[in-house]
Structure 1
């Protein structure tokens, strides 16, 4: 598949699936496979793992490889599979991205290194080295609120020009002017994905390729419907879904992702609501609010199913 063909295939609502744990914080791979099946059955157009929602910084490299391999087998070619392979450690990112290619992933999502705050030339060098090491599509991942550094428009444009396999970017950036300029400078063929829930619809309106939204962990059908309605030309439906999802989006980000999403999935009976330290579940007060919002959306809860 050419990179141009990949641009067309890697579109829509790509679910960034959480990593389920057992009570002892070990990987719960059987539940993980069930989550992936549920996502695909409910219309997600692609699957991503070990991104922010997957708690990658709490996993060892070996565990990340296990999660990636398990997901690849579970997806079984039904939809595109794009694992997160970025790391604060350059060599780890190289290893994980090469592993994604070896296991037959459809691409790799590579986050801006976090904590160490590299300058723009350093970021260019980091991403170009990774892109040059593989021949699968690379999607950059810019999330300045978590990494403490913004991948600037000029750097994105340089990478898009110099690396044919860098086909797009996930922008978890609330600066809507910035994301407009990404498409202007990198080219309107560049795949722009929203990682900000309230910008999923607006980014489609300027030519975005879709979204990688943490909310799809809880409501995959509804999040996919925003993209489906837009591409079908039903602008009113897409707008309606945008506003309809706002209450759920808001409550799922009242604490650090993926804590609210995991709490919600626990209430839904999809996973054991466990995060690895230093992460923890939201406060009891927020969990009550999450539960009420899930009820407002008509989402079935575990205790109600068993009643």
Structure 2
């Protein structure tokens, strides 16, 4: 069964210039690079895109730019996460006006969570007032609440427009519960924790959302295809390589700064992160550059031998 949301869908960065405006030219070039190298979708205005550090106008601008540049060639998921249901609905209304068709929705955050039911009500209200597809996005490190498998499944059956689940909770057992429920349905189940991703795809997951996919698009696509095709030995090779590439995100105090610098080595964007985040140090840049070259060489070796 072919699903709309599957494969490698990167949480794309938000490149900025020296005045912290979106670098339209660099971003457009990066999107083209991602699509030309086989990535299966774009997740704009997510955590890796520093979405809550952008102004509202910037968020709307980068979503608009994404939709115009992608032109329907791959699916675009837009982050609309916010601190209340009304805010999320307003964000989705803006997305609809731009022509967007899919929104990633988290629980609300910066709040005292008292139950799982509040997030179910959150989705119920959004569905009554908007028309786009919705992706359930479980990311407790930023929302302060981990959605259980049971909650995810209750939300998934609210409406046919709830089309996918992105799990960044790290609770692999709960992820497998959701996967076993929806593996043979149009509902997509995607892993958001990269070290768990290939094992999840081997077990039937529809794809994953790796921060470094724009830095190594062919590697991630090849790894996904190996796992999707149940080539266990090749998947093991790629899993070792992806685990090694994930070390890049821990080579600075700020994983976003690490990701932005690594992706900048492709030549499309600057390494800048939005103030006042910690930036990358000169010696850290050199370490990431070496790791980047090591990963690229290892990928070429694997690809040449398979």
Scaled by the length of structure 2, what TM-score is found? 0.89
Q: Give, in whole Å, the separation in 2 of the partners of 1:284 and 1:66.
A: 31
Q: 1:94 maps to what in 2?
A: 89
C-alpha distance in 1, partners of 2:52/2:159? 27
Equivalent-residue separation in structure 2 for 1:256 and 1:196 (angstroms): 17
Kept after mapping to 1: 8 A contact 2:204/2:228: no
Determine which of 292, 296, 299 is the counterpart of 1:298: 296
- Cα 1:233–1:203, aligned 2, differ >3 Å: closer, same or farther? closer
What per-residue deviation string (whole Å, max 9, x for no partner) do you get for residues 176-198 of structure 1?
11211223456753311111111
Is 2:245 aligned against 1:248?
yes
Residue by residue, what CA displacement relative to the aligned partner does 1:247-288 show, whole Å, maximum 9, x if unpaired? 111222444432111122234422111111122323444333
- Over 3 Å counting, the alpha-carbon distance change for 1:177 and 1:56 in structure 2 is same
Partner of 1:221: 218
In the other structure, the counterpart of 2:120 is 124
Cα deviation code 1:285-307 (max 9, x no counterpart): 433321110121237xxxxxxxx
Residue 305 of structure 1: aligned partner:
none
* 1:278-289 equivalent positions in 2, closer than 5 A: 278-289=276-287
Which residue, out of 154, 161, 167, partners 2:157?
161
Does residue 15 of the first structure (1) align with residue 13 of the second (2)?
no
Q: Is the 8 A contact 2:167 2:193 kept in 1?
A: yes
Structure 2 distance, partners of 1:133, 1:127, is 10
Contact 2:216 2:296 in 1 (8 A): no
1:59-115 CA-partner distances (Å, limit 9, x unpaired): 122211111110000001111111111112332211222333333334111123233
Give the distance between the partners of 2:228 and 2:265, measured in 1 at CA. 33
Distance 2:40 2:248 in 1: 24
Q: SS where residue 83 of structure 1 aligns? A: strand
| Aligned residues: CA RMSD | 2.1
User: Which residue of structure 2 lines up, in the alignment, with residue 135 of structure 1?
Assistant: 131
Instruction: Tell me what 2:67 maps to.
Output: 72
Q: Contact between 1:210 and 1:227, CA under 8 Å: does it hold in 2?
A: yes
CA contact (8 A) 2:83 2:111 kept: yes
When the two structures are aligned, how many residues end up with a matched partner?
294
Offset of 1:11 from its aligned partner?
1.0
Report if the CA contact (8 A) 1:154-1:185 is conserved.
no
Gaps of 5+ in 1: 300-307
For 2:33, the equivalent position in structure 1 comes to 38
SS in structure 1 at match of 2:9: strand
Task: Name the SS for the 1:9 alignment partner.
Answer: coil
Q: Which runs of 4+ in 1 moved over 6 A?
A: none
Q: Which runs of 5+ in 2 are unaligned?
A: 298-306
Alignment of 1:58 with 2:69, yes or no, is no
- Indicate conservation of the 8 Å contact 1:88/1:113, yes or no: yes
Asked if 1:265 is matched to 2:260, the reply is no
On the 8 A contact 1:188/1:207 being kept in 2, the answer is: no
In the alignment, does 2:201 pair up with 1:204? yes
Matched, 1:26 2:40: no
Aligned counterparts, 1:176-215, within 5 A: 176-184=172-180, 189=185, 190-215=187-212
**Residues 41-69 of structure 1: CA deviation (Å, up to 9, x unaligned):** 11101111100111011112221111111
Contact 1:225 1:238 in 2 (8 A): no
